Amino acid sequence: MTWCNAGLLVAAGLLSAVHAALQLPNTSGIDGQLTANHGVDRFFSLWLVFNNEAVSMSDEPYTILAVQNAASIRDDCLLKQPELVKKLLLDHMVIGKRIDLSNTTTVTTFKTAGGRTVHVQFSEEGKLQANNANIVEANVSIPNGYLVILDNYLFPDEQTIKKNCTLGKFDVPTSNFPMLSVVTAKESSKTSVSNTSFIDNVMQVLSILKSGVRVFQHFLSRSNVSRLIDDDEEYTVFIPTDHAFQRWHPIDWGFYPFSVPEFTESIIVNHFVKGKLKQDGIKNGQVMKTLGGREIVFKKNPMLSVNGAAVVKGDTPIAKGNIMFISEVLFVSEAVVSRLHQQHKDKETPPLLAFPWFGAQFLSHAFLALERDRRFSHITRFLNLADLAPRVSGTGYTFFVPTDTAFEELGLDKMPDNYLSAGAELQILLNHFVKGRLYDRDLKNGGSLKSLGNKTIHIFRNEDTVKVNNATIVESEVFVYNLGTMFYINKVLFADNTTLPIASIPSTPLKPTALPSATTGLFTTEDVERVPEEIAEDGGSMPDVLFADATTAEIEITTQETNTIASTISQNVTIK
């Protein structure tokens, strides 16, 4: 897929604001290969400048006077003058008419969408011209319109752009519009080298494209790749699209590998290589090392790929390097994600439960997990009738769970299910919960924790065992998704045969606590750690400009990794 295709998708996909003032033609039917064949793909790449505009799409016939790639406008100049670029494009389109200039014999005049007048006539040399530009092809048929191919721009704006660029005017922030690959090969050597780093230049491009590559932008902004970048060197970065990251995003709930920071950092680093590579100069079978020390292999059969990931046709050269966009995230596979999942079950996101306690997601998931384990029949029957949900609401807790043996030592196995449901008895359960999601490393010798029952839990640790008060931890870090942690212990905390309030056992069974409703305010979506915001948030106004219209012939993704991992991971939950 070429950069012109990306531009066309902007025109077709971004134009959803029905009442917008700016109107552009519906160019969605123009094939990217067609514009490349006629040498006008760079002209259409300029259309990305409308990315942040409120525009509407016209279904009327249209004519676009497209300028060949050889017409030179330096990209570093264009980046400083977005408004002139927009005006330039509007002056090269006509909405409402299909203008066929192939049979022109007399002077033909029409107005552009920008309000400028175009005069078509024959020059003294017998060449058909539009203003002072030669018409190379008079009627390239496209859906609902024509392309007229020109060898130069219609109006003197190009000279204004060049002049103002030379004078250093139009100091417009480059984040307002895209980095465009429109500099000719002859002029590329004249492009001034920016004082900004390669990473800064990459971030400028990504901040403009927004929707197509916003996930990589999010991770790159939080990475330490810049420490590996030498300002005196040039680099190439292979940027996966949002779709490439999306395939690893669990459906509704599950394990998202990029929630593991150290893994994400290593993946981002391994998308950079030293040297300014150009697609045409890459050889079939060429091997390179990434900045992270991993090996990548290029193939050209029939199209360019890196480690099996299809490379979008067309370079995006920037100061100090080059950008290529790819269809897959490198060095990520189902096997890699599966191993990572086993090591980081605390990162797994949970399904939302309406039962037993909608307002207490940690408590609900912990209860269901313990209910499936025969070692915890007593704690689950006590939890089932206890009025705990309002006190252990939401997420982010640590639960020290006594085994059945612990309850049996105190004779609590003979107590009715509602024995710990309210009053002083309920405090026994509350003293096993701590606010905060603790790991084994957090239980340091000599430390102390405050329970929800307002008791102090003391930690004693040696090489072999970890104790909380007089109870020994028999199993550590039982993760309840990313909601909290359980530690299994062999005694009931803050209870012995002399302190148990046996006399206050209710004479009649209590009714189960009513389930909190969705309107109780005990639980909000913020209570559950979700998949990172770069996936969950709505994207920019642009669709995935890189792959939205890609065909099977254009992009060949390796078959061994095409099946989504979401369904596999979603079934491999933290606690079974």
pLDDT in tens, 479-508: 999 999 999 999 999 988 776 765 444 444
**What is the overall mean pLDDT for the chain?**
77
pLDDT at 518 over 50: no
pLDDT of residue 167: 37
Which 3 state secondary structure label does DSSP give 153?
Answer: coil
Surface-to-core class of residue 375, CB atoms within 10 Å of its CB (0-12 exposed, 13-18 middle, 19+ buried): middle
Q: How far is residue 216's CA from residue 206's CA, in Å, rounded to a whole number? A: 8
pLDDT of residue 473: 97
Domains 23-158 and 198-344 share a fold: yes
pLDDT at 7 over 70: no
β-pairing verdict for 235-240 and 145-150: unpaired
Q: pLDDT digits over 519-545, tens only?
A: 333 333 344 444 455 544 444 333 343
pLDDT of residue 11: 35
* Helix H or strand E segment including 13: helix 3-13
Surface-to-core class of residue 14, CB atoms within 10 Å of its CB (0-12 exposed, 13-18 middle, 19+ buried): buried
Strands of the sheet containing 295-300, edge to edge, are: 287-289, 295-300, 304-306, 309-310
Question: What is the average pLDDT across 245-249?
Answer: 89
Q: How far is residue 527's CA from residue 349's CA, in Å, rounded to a whole number? A: 12
Pair 398, 457: CB distance under 8 Å: no
Q: Which position has the higher pLDDT, 256 or 574?
A: 256
Q: Is 53 left (phi over 0), alpha (psi -120 to 50) or beta?
A: beta
Q: pLDDT digits over 122-136, tens only?
A: 988 888 999 889 999
Residue 325 CA, chain-centre distance (Å), reads 14
Q: How far is residue 211's CA from residue 205's CA, in Å, rounded to a whole number? A: 12
pLDDT at 251 over 90: no
Q: How far is residue 132's CA from residue 150's CA, in Å, rounded to a whole number? A: 10
pLDDT of residue 34: 80
Indicate the CATH number of 347-489 among 2.30.180.10, 3.40.50.620, 2.30.140.10, 2.30.110.10: 2.30.180.10
pLDDT at 166 over 80: no
Q: pLDDT digits over 329-386, tens only?
A: 999 999 999 999 999 989 998 999 988 998 999 999 999 999 999 999 999 999 999 9
Q: Which position has the higher pLDDT, 542 or 225?
A: 225
Q: How far apart are the first and last CA of the chain?
A: 45
- Altogether, the residues listed in the chain come to a count of 576
Q: pLDDT digits over 49-58, tens only?
A: 665 566 777 8
Contacts for 409-412 with beta carbons within 8 Å, 24 or more apart?
409/491, 409/492, 410/492, 410/495, 410/496, 410/497, 410/500, 411/497, 412/378, 412/492, 412/500
Q: CATH top-level class for 23-158? A: mainly beta
Residue 227 CA, chain-centre distance (Å), reads 23
Spatial CA neighbour of 215 closest among 535, 530, 529: 535
CA atoms in the 13 A half-sphere facing the CB of 84: 23
Question: What is the average pLDDT across 114-127?
Answer: 89
Question: What is the average pLDDT across 108-113?
Answer: 92
pLDDT of residue 52: 54
Question: What is the average pLDDT across 6-14?
Answer: 37
Lowest-confidence segment of 165-174, 266-275, 295-304, 433-442 by average pLDDT: 165-174
pTM over 0.75: no
Pair 175, 204: CB distance under 8 Å: yes
Q: CATH top-level class for 198-344? A: mainly beta
pLDDT of residue 487: 98
Can you give the residue ranges of every domain in the chain? 23-158, 198-344, 347-489
The radius of gyration of the chain's CA atoms, rounded to the nearest angstrom, is 32
pLDDT at 312 over 60: yes
Q: How far is residue 529's CA from residue 91's CA, in Å, rounded to a whole number? A: 50
Q: Which position has the higher pLDDT, 423 or 191?
A: 423
Beta bridge partners of 63: 94, 146
Spatial CA neighbour of 200 closest among 315, 291, 319: 319
Q: Is 21 left (phi over 0), alpha (psi -120 to 50) or beta?
A: alpha
pLDDT of residue 44: 80
Q: How far is residue 284's CA from residue 297's CA, in Å, rounded to a whole number? A: 9
Six-digit token pair at 548? 């939205």
pLDDT at 64 over 60: yes
Six-digit token pair at 95? 């909405």
The percentage of residues in the chain with a pLDDT greater than 90, rounded to a whole number, is 45
Which sign, positive or negative, has the C-alpha torsion 377, 381, 386, 388? positive
Q: What is the DSSP letter of 341?
A: H
Which 3 state secondary structure label does DSSP give 477?
Answer: strand
The percentage of residues in the chain with a pLDDT greater than 70, rounded to a whole number, is 72
pLDDT of residue 26: 82
Q: pLDDT digits over 75-90, tens only?
A: 445 555 677 888 888 9
Question: What is the average pLDDT across 398-412?
Answer: 95
pLDDT of residue 504: 46
